[in-house]
Chain A
Amino acid sequence: MDKTRTNRSPLWRLSAEQEVEEELAFHLEMRVRQYLDEGLDEPEARRRALAGFGEPGELVTTCRQIARTRNRRFELLDAWQEWVTDFRYALRQFWRNPVFSALVVGILSLGLGANVAVFSLVDRLLLNPLDYPRPERLVTVWEEHASRSKRKNVVNPANFVLFREESETMQRMAGFVTIDATLSDDAESALRAKARVVTDGYFEILGVAPVIGRAFDESDYADGSARTVILSQHVWRGRFGARHDVIGQTLSVDDREATVVGVMPHSFGLDMGPEVRPYGNAPDIYMTLPVTPEWRTASGRWLMVVARLEDEASLDDAHAEMELLSERMGEVRQEYNAEWRAHLIPLDTHLNDAARPPLTALAVAVVLILLIVCVNVAGLLTARAATRSAEMLIRDALGAGRARLVRQLFVESLLMSAIALSLGLGLALAATPILEGLLPIELLSTATVRAQSVFPTRMLALSVTMLLVCTISFGILPGVIATRRLHHVRGDGRAGPEQYRLRFWLVFAEIVLAVLLLVGSGLTLQSFSRLLDVDPGFAHSGLVSFAVAPSRELSDQQLFTFYDDLLSQLANTAGVREAGAITHIPIASVGAATSYFPLDRAEPDAGTAPSAAIRVIRGSYFQTMRIPLLAGRSFDSSDRPDANLGAVVVNRQLADEHWPGDSALGKQLQVSWGEGGARQIVGVVSDVKHAGPASPVKNTIYFPHAQERERAMTVVLRSDEPIDAVMPRVRAVVSRIDPKLPLYDVKDMSAVLGGSVQKERVLALLIGIMAVAALTLAALGIYGMMAYAVITREREFGLRMALGASPSSIATLVLRQALVLLVAALSAGIAVSLLGGRFIESILFEVSASDALTYVAVSVLLALGCIGAAMLPAMRASRVAPTIALRQQ
C-alpha cells in the first residue's frame, strides 16, 4: 500500500464526485487541445473529444461508484493500519521497560486471577440452578414458633397431612426424615448407613428417576407390603459393585428384610437439613415412610417437607397460602399449634443459607482488590505518561492529535491487560482446586446437585468484561489527563499540578479501598479468634469417638450387658483412660429434642412448653468428656430400670432458667420422651454447645441408659496416645465381644472441633491475605506519589534551603503533604466502612461491625504504612542541594 495517499489527504480532500468530475474534465480538455493541435477547429475538436467518452453520464456514474467503494476500503485499511502501528508501538514500549511492565502485569494478573477464581467458585456453588427439572418451583416447608428464634423448625406429621390435603398452590408435597440404619447382607460386613425415609411423592416432586429399576409406587406404601429400598449411586457402586442384577436382591436393613427396587443417579441426593453441618451427608439409601391415619393425631415435630408448586401458582401465592394454612393449623388443633406458624422457603435459598454470606463476603473482598489494583496501575501509568511528555509533544506536532495519543496509551494498557488476563486465568485455574480444598464440605454439598456450570462461556465472558473494565478505567484516564493541554507541557517530563492532582485522588481512592479491606480483615480475624476461644463445654484433645449399633435382636438385658462389657473393657485397655457413651456426641451429630416442663410449676399451654435437647448417656460420660458436675451426682447403679421415678441430669442453663438462685436437685420434670412420666433431677452439669462453638447453648436433659434403653450409641474415649495407636486395640476389644459388630464413624474430636470453624478460618485467611496486599499497594501508591511530588518541587526545596530553611523542615513539608492525604482518605474510608458494616454482620461471630479495636488497629497500621512509605521521599527532599535546584532551568 502506497502510504502517500495524498489523494485523500486533508489538504486535497475531494469527494468521489468532485474527483471524477475534475479528472474527466481534465482529460476532455487535453483531448480538445490534441485535436486543435492536429488542425481541427474548435467545435469539431470538441465534438470529437466528447464522442470518445461514449455515454458520459454512465461513465461518470460508474467511476463514482468505484471511487466510493475504493475510498471506503482505503479508510478501513488506514484505520486498521493505525491500530497495527499502535500495537507495534505498544509492544516496543513494553519490552523497553521490562521492570515496569512486569510490575504492572504482575499486579494486574493477581487481581484478575483472584477475581476469576472466586467468581467461578461463587458461580458453581451459588448461581447454578439445581439439577432438578424446574428447580425454581421447589420449596421447603417449615414451622416456626413465635418465641423461639429457630426459623426452620421441622414439621409435625398432623400438620403435614393438613397442608397436603388443603394446599392448592402446591402440586405435591412429600415428607421425609433421615435416620441411621444398619445395612447388612450375607456377603459383607454391616454398614452403617444414612437412610432417608420418604413419603409418597418424594421422587416425583424432585423429578429425578432412578437410573435402574423404579421409584417407590403405591404398592410399596400399601399396608403390610414387603419393605423396599432404593440405593444411592455411591452405595450401589461401593457395596454392590454397580451390578445391574441388584434389583430384586434382598438385604437386611436394621435386621429386617428389604428388597432393592431401584438405584438413584449420581447427582441426586443431598443433605437438606435445617442446619447444614460439616458432617451432613447425602443419604445412602431410601425407604418408604407410609402416611398412616395415626399421623393426624400425632404430636412431635420431626418431618422435613419438600413440595413442588403448581405451574400456575407464584411464590407469592404460596407464601400467602402458608398464612392461611397457619391459621388452619390453629383451628384444627388449637392447643398443640398455638403460637406456631408455617412458612416456606424456596429450596435453592434454603440450601444456600450457609454458603451465601461467606461467599458473598469473599466476592466483595476480591472485587475491592481488583479496584485497588486498577487504581494502582492507573497511578503507575499516569506517572509513566508524564515522563513521556516530550514524545507526545512531538507526535502531536506531527499531527497525531489528542485522540490518537489517547488511543495509543489505551492500546498499551490493553496489551498489558490482555497479557495479565491470560496469566490471571492460568493462576485462577491453578488456584481453584486449592480454594475448593480449603473450603469445608458444607459449602460444597450443594455443588454436586447443581448443573455443571458452562465454565468456558460464562467465565470467558466474565473475564473479558473485567479486562475491558480494567483497561478502560486505567487505560483511558491517564491518557486523557496526560494529553490535556499539551502545549503546557514542559519538555523535561514534568506536567505540573494536573498530574499531581490526579495521582492524589487515585491514591486517595486506593487508601479508602484498602481501609475497607483492612476493616473487613480485622473483623473476620477477630470473629475467628473469638470462635476459637469459645469453650464448647468439653475438653476435646485426646478425645476419640466411634459409633456402634448392636443387633436389633438383642433383648434389653443383653443390650445393657453389652454396653457394660464394652465400656469396662475399653476402660481397661492400654492407652484408654476413661470411656463413656452417649446417643449423640456434640458437634458431629444432630441429636433429638423434645418438650418438657417443671412439675412444680403450672402446666404450660400446649405448644408453649419449653424444649430441651435429649441425650442418653452411659458409663462415665461426663468424666470422659471432662464436663464438670456442678451439683448432685451423675448416674450410677442406684438408677434402676424399674425405678418409679426416673432420674435425669440437666445442664446449668436449664437449672438456672427454672430455679434461679435455688438448687435444681430433687426437682421434678415432665418430659415427653420414652414412657413419659415424671423424672427427678439428680445432678446438674456444665453447659455444652451441641451444635458447635458458634451456636447457642440449648437446655439439655440427660437420661441414664439403664432407664432409657437405646440401641445405637456413640462411645467416647479419652486417651493419651494418638488415635491410630488406640483404635486397633479398641477394634480388638469390640470384636472380642461381638465379632460381627461393625464399628464406624471413628472421629478425633479435636479434628471435629477444628472442622467446625473451618469456614471462619478460611475466610479470615483469605481476606487477611487480601488486606495485606491492599496495604502494600496503598503504601506503594503513597510512595510513588510522594516521590513524584518531591521531584516536582525540587527547585522549590532548593530555593528554600538556599534561603535558610533546615533540611528537617523540608522533610516535614513533604510528610505533611502525605499526612493530609492520609487523614482525608482514612476518614473517608472509615466512614464508608461504618456505613457498610451492616452487610458484613452475617458472617461475624460476637464482633460488632463497628468494633472499635479493629478501627483503631486499622488506622494505626495504615498510618504507619503510609508515613513509612513517605519517609524515603521526604528524606531525599531534605538532601536536595540548593545549588542543584538553582542550576536547573
Chain B
Amino acid sequence: MPMSDGNELLRGTLDSLILKTLSHGRRHGYGVARWLEQTTKEVLAIEEGSLYPALYRLEKRGLLSSEWGTSELGRRAKFYRLTALGEKQLRAQTKRWEQFAGAVSQVLLAEA
C-alpha cells in the first residue's frame, strides 16, 4: 500500500477512527473526541483543530450526515451519524488497516 507522508497517513487514520466511533451510534463532535480518548485510555488525544475539519470533510464527502439535536445538557448540539456510504468506506478501510498492520507487525515483531 503506497504511503506518501505522515500527514496523509494520520488524516486517513483519523477518518477511519471517526467512522468507527460513529458506527456505534450518533454522537456530537465532543462525544467522538471523548469516546476515542476513553477507549484508547488517553493514548490517542485528538486535537480539536484536527477533529472538526475531519468531521466537516467527511460530511462533505457524504460519509457522515449531521443533524441538530438536544444534548445531555439540554442544549442544542450538532450530531453526526454514519451513512450507508460511510459504513461501506469503514469496512474497506478496516480491511486495509488489517492488511497494513499485519504486514508491518510481521516485519517489526518477527524474531530476529
Chain B residue with Cβ nearest A53:
B48
Interface string of A52-73 (1 = CB under 8 A from B): 1111001100110011011001
A4-B67, A7-B66, A54-B48 known; A26+B30 contact, CB < 8 A:
yes
- Chain A residues within 8 Å of B30, by CB: 26-27, 30-31
Is B56 touching A27 in the complex (CB atoms < 8 A)? no
Separation of A24 and B47 alpha carbons in the complex (Å): 13
Is B48 touching A7 in the complex (CB atoms < 8 A)? no
Separation of A63 and B54 alpha carbons in the complex (Å): 9
- Residues facing B in A35-85 (CB within 8 A) are 52-55, 58-59, 62-63, 66-67, 69-70, 73
Is B56 touching A6 in the complex (CB atoms < 8 A)? no
Sample of 10 more A-B contacts, CB < 8 Å, known A23-B52, A29-B73: A2-B65, A19-B78, A26-B28, A27-B30, A27-B33, A27-B48, A53-B48, A59-B49, A59-B52, A67-B56
10 contacts between A and B (CB under 8 A): A2-B81, A6-B68, A7-B66, A7-B78, A12-B68, A31-B30, A52-B48, A53-B48, A59-B52, A63-B53
| Smallest beta-carbon distance A153→chain B, Å | 80
Is A66 touching B67 in the complex (CB atoms < 8 A)? no
- Chain A residues within 8 Å of B33, by CB: 27
- Residues facing A in B57-103 (CB within 8 A) are 57, 59-60, 62, 65-68, 71, 73, 75-78, 81, 83, 85
A1 within 8 A of B: yes
| Smallest beta-carbon distance A46→chain B, Å | 14
Among A5, A27, A54, A55, residue most surrounded by chain B Cβ atoms (within 10 Å): A27
Is B29 touching A53 in the complex (CB atoms < 8 A)? no
Chain A residue with Cβ nearest B65:
A2
A22 within 8 A of B: yes
| Smallest beta-carbon distance A17→chain B, Å | 13
Is A70 touching B78 in the complex (CB atoms < 8 A)? no
A4-B67, A5-B67, A6-B68 known; A24+B52 contact, CB < 8 A:
yes
- Residues facing B in A563-616 (CB within 8 A) are none
Chain A residue with Cβ nearest B82:
A2
A2-B83, A5-B67, A27-B29 known; A70+B59 contact, CB < 8 A:
yes
- Chain B residues within 8 Å of A55, by CB: 49
Is B78 touching A23 in the complex (CB atoms < 8 A)? yes
* B side interface size, CB within 8 A: 28
Is B67 touching A7 in the complex (CB atoms < 8 A)? yes
Separation of A58 and B53 alpha carbons in the complex (Å): 11
| Smallest beta-carbon distance B70→chain A, Å | 11
Chain A residue with Cβ nearest B72:
A30
- Chain A residues within 8 Å of B83, by CB: 1-2
A26-B75, A52-B48 known; A70+B67 contact, CB < 8 A:
no
Is B52 touching A63 in the complex (CB atoms < 8 A)? yes
> Quick one: which of B53, B59, B60, B76 contacts A22, CB cutoff 8 A?
B76
Chain A residue with Cβ nearest B52:
A63
- Chain A residues within 8 Å of B65, by CB: 1-2, 4-5, 7
| Smallest beta-carbon distance B98→chain A, Å | 28
Is B49 touching A7 in the complex (CB atoms < 8 A)? no
A7-B78, A23-B78 known; A63+B48 contact, CB < 8 A:
no
A7-B67, A30-B30 known; A1+B52 contact, CB < 8 A:
no
A2-B65, A52-B47 known; A23+B60 contact, CB < 8 A:
no
Separation of A73 and B59 alpha carbons in the complex (Å): 11
Is B60 touching A70 in the complex (CB atoms < 8 A)? yes
Is A62 touching B67 in the complex (CB atoms < 8 A)? no
Separation of A849 and B60 alpha carbons in the complex (Å): 69
| Smallest beta-carbon distance B47→chain A, Å | 6
- Chain A residues within 8 Å of B85, by CB: 1
Q: Which 3 A-B pairs have the closest CB atoms?
A: A2-B65, A70-B60, A54-B49
Separation of A55 and B47 alpha carbons in the complex (Å): 11
Chain B residue with Cβ nearest A26:
B77
A2-B83, A6-B68, A59-B48 known; A23+B77 contact, CB < 8 A:
yes
Separation of A23 and B48 alpha carbons in the complex (Å): 12
- Chain B residues within 8 Å of A31, by CB: 30
Separation of A22 and B56 alpha carbons in the complex (Å): 14
- Chain B residues within 8 Å of A59, by CB: 48-49, 52-53
- Chain B residues within 8 Å of A1, by CB: 62, 65, 83, 85
Is A54 touching B47 in the complex (CB atoms < 8 A)? yes
Chain A residue with Cβ nearest B71:
A26
> Quick one: which of A34, A52, A58, A66 contacts B60, CB cutoff 8 A?
A66
| Smallest beta-carbon distance A404→chain B, Å | 23
Is A66 touching B28 in the complex (CB atoms < 8 A)? no
Separation of A70 and B57 alpha carbons in the complex (Å): 8
Chain A residue with Cβ nearest B78:
A23
